[in-house]
């Protein structure tokens, strides 16, 4: 995968925006290292790098909420990925389909979505 050398990893990581391929809804933002990018391409399932745990992980490995890759894009600077996926279950560890379930309005954040699963039963 010689093209991977062109990707600009900062401190070994690249941000990745994950989007529902049908609805275009942004589901989450996470980071990938080189190995996660390669494994995502090879398996067609999203793998990320956890900065807090300092290790790679497969989305859905404990919850079963797998992300199947439909398309991968890189931005013009080669320093950010956009992956369009088919989401099984919710993408957010808090129980929502998207991590962006709150909207800032009238000086505060308001809940804009309903939970699609109970995190206590999944994690």
Strand partners, 80: none
CA distance 112 to 120: 21
pLDDT at 4: 85
Q: What does 62-120 look like in DSSP terms, one character per residue?
A: TT---EEEEEEEE-TTS--EEEEEEESS-SSTTSSSSS--EEEETTEEEE----SS-HH
Splitting the chain (123 residues) into consecutive groups of 10 residues, what average pLDDT does each group show? 87 98 98 97 98 96 96 97 97 97 97 96 89
Asked, for residue 60, whether it belongs to a domain, the answer is yes
We report the CATH number of the domain holding residue 59 as: 3.10.20.810
Asked, for residue 6, whether it belongs to a domain, the answer is yes
CA distance 35 to 120: 30
pTM here? 0.92
Asked, for residue 85, whether it belongs to a domain, the answer is yes
Asked, for residue 28, whether it belongs to a domain, the answer is yes
Domain that holds residue 24: 2-93
Asked, for residue 110, whether it belongs to a domain, the answer is no
Asked, for residue 113, whether it belongs to a domain, the answer is no
Q: Residue 67, Cβ neighbours under 10 Å: how many? A: 26
Split into its structural domains, the chain has a count of 1
Asked, for residue 39, whether it belongs to a domain, the answer is yes
Asked, for residue 9, whether it belongs to a domain, the answer is yes
CA distance 106 to 114: 20
Strand partners, 57: 48
pLDDT at 123: 86
End-to-end CA distance of the chain: 35
């Amino acid at each position: 995968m010689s093209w991977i050398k062109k990707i600009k990893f900062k401190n070994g990581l690249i941000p990745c925006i994950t989007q529902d391929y049908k609805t275009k809804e942004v589901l989450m933002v996470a980071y990938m290292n080189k190995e996660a990018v390669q494994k995502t391409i090879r398996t067609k399932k999203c793998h990320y790098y956890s900065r807090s745990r300092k290790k790679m992980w497969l989305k859905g490995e404990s919850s079963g909420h797998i992300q199947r890759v439909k398309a991968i894009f890189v931005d013009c600077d080669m320093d950010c990925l956009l992956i369009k996926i088919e989401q099984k279950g919710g993408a957010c560890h808090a129980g929502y389909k998207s991590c962006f379930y709150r909207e800032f309005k009238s000086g505060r954040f308001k809940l804009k979505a309903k939970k699609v699963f109970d995190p206590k039963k999944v994690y």
